[in-house]
Amino acid sequence: MDKKLLGLLFMFFLTFGIFSTVVVFNKPLTQLTRAKEDIIPSGSKSLIFAWPLTVQSDGKKTSTITVFVRTAKSKPLINKTITLNSTLGDIKNKTAITDKEGKAVFELSSQNKGIAKVEAVIDNTIKITQTITIKFE
């Protein structure tokens, strides 16, 4: 056989082999890399709620703040440390660990009148984009 023909056949089979490998293994490889996303918290998918939103400023009445930690696919995450910060008032237990539902619960009270802006941070690195305000009167 001619050397040029052998070179072309070699290049053809090499290219076909690389193409086949990419097509066959592309989907399983992306699924393997995406599996790690299930343990990464999402600041935009995580939620923060409070009730009631208006509380007496006597230092005794509290607003219950609930934080739900979620992945980018909205799956709950367990054993994540949540730190809560407020511009006004006293937070009972500023940090909490999420349960099997990805939920952590806090209580906020204040002896001063005003509006408290509450923010939450997951594992001291990921800030939850949603914030809430609680009015103390």
Check which CATH number belongs to the domain holding 121 and give it: 2.60.40.10
Could you tell me if 46 and 34 lie in one domain?
no
**Entry pTM:** 0.71
Distance from C-alpha of 76 to C-alpha of 54, rounded to nearest angstrom: 28
For the chain, 137 residues long, give each residue's pLDDT as a single digit of tens: 688 888 888 889 888 888 877 777 766 555 555 555 578 899 999 999 999 999 999 999 999 999 999 998 889 999 999 999 999 999 988 999 999 999 999 999 999 999 999 999 999 999 999 999 999 99
Residues 89 and 127 reside in one and the same domain: yes
Burial class (CB in 10 A: 0-12, 13-18, 19+), 103: middle
Domain co-membership, 97 together with 56: yes
Backbone angles phi, psi at 62, to 5 degrees: -125, 160
